[in-house]
């Protein structure tokens, strides 16, 4: 029978897996406490970085319906549970790993889909959600402006054509 403290730890980890948009597994071997503190700050407010026990975390992930991470639970493991924008936290992890090669990104999960370490690095290269939404809004506004100009051009072209026809008819009528 499982000890109550371990069962509580598994339940808490399973809740974190369920409530997070993404989770990134890292190996932190060789990092100091001060470096881990800096890493936690670089992830942003919407991420929680926790050093975990592999066996308990594997059980918790499976309870949360995530079995794709089983192979990554070896060696000293820490998990970044991301509840906000995963791009921001992925950038924080990537940038910290550049300065501190002891941090190794193993892989993760985003909205239930497994991500390799390379895919997490690609995610970090994306622009933030707000920037992408702003670009989308700008593109949509530009298309609306083009449509408005097109709809405005049709009546004015009709008026010019009708005026040219009227002038032509007057010239023909005056010539007879």
H or E, element range at 69: none
Name the packing angle between helices 54-63 and 4-19 (round to 10°). Answer: 50
Q: Give the pLDDT of residue 14.
A: 87
Do 45 and 85 meet the contact criterion of CB atoms below 8 Å apart? no
Q: Give the pLDDT of residue 1.
A: 39
Q: Where are the domains of the chain?
A: 1-125, 127-175
pLDDT tens, position by position, for the chain (176 residues)?
Answer: 368 888 888 888 888 888 888 889 888 888 888 888 888 888 878 888 888 888 888 888 888 888 888 888 888 888 989 888 888 888 888 888 888 888 888 888 888 788 888 888 888 777 767 777 888 888 777 777 777 777 787 788 888 888 888 888 888 876 55
CA distance 128 to 130: 5
Q: Give the pLDDT of residue 2.
A: 64
**What six digits make up the tokens of 150?**
């097109």
Instruction: Please state whether the predicted TM-score (pTM) of the whole model is above 0.75.
Output: no
Question: What are residue 107's DSSP bridge partners?
Answer: 25, 116
Among candidates 12, 4, 122, 1, which has minimal Cα distance to 61? 12
Q: Give the pLDDT of residue 113.
A: 84
Do 23 and 81 meet the contact criterion of CB atoms below 8 Å apart? yes
Q: Give the pLDDT of residue 174.
A: 60
Q: Give the pLDDT of residue 73.
A: 85
Torsion of CA 72, 77, 82, 85, to 10 degrees: -70
> CATH code for 1-125?
3.30.70.1730
């Amino acid at each position: 029978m499982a000890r109550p403290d371990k069962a509580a730890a598994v339940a808490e980890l399973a809740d974190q897996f369920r409530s997070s948009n993404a989770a990134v597994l890292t190996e932190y071997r060789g990092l100091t406490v001060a470096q881990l503190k800096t890493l936690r700050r670089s992830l942003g407010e919407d991420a929680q970085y926790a050093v975990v026990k592999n066996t308990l975390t594997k059980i918790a992930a499976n309870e949360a319906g995530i079995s794709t991470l089983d192979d990554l639970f070896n060696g000293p493991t820490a998990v970044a549970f991301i509840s906000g924008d995963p791009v921001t936290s992925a950038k924080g992890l990537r940038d910290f790993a550049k300065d501190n090669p002891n941090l190794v990104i193993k892989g993760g999960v985003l909205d239930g889909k497994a991500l390799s370490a390379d895919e997490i690095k690609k995610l970090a290269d994306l622009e933030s959600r707000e920037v992408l939404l702003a670009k989308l809004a700008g593109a949509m506004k530009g298309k609306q402006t083009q449509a408005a100009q097109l709809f405005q051009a049709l009546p004015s072209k009709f008026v010019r054509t009708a005026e040219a026809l009227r002038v032509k008819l007057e010239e023909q009528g005056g010539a007879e």
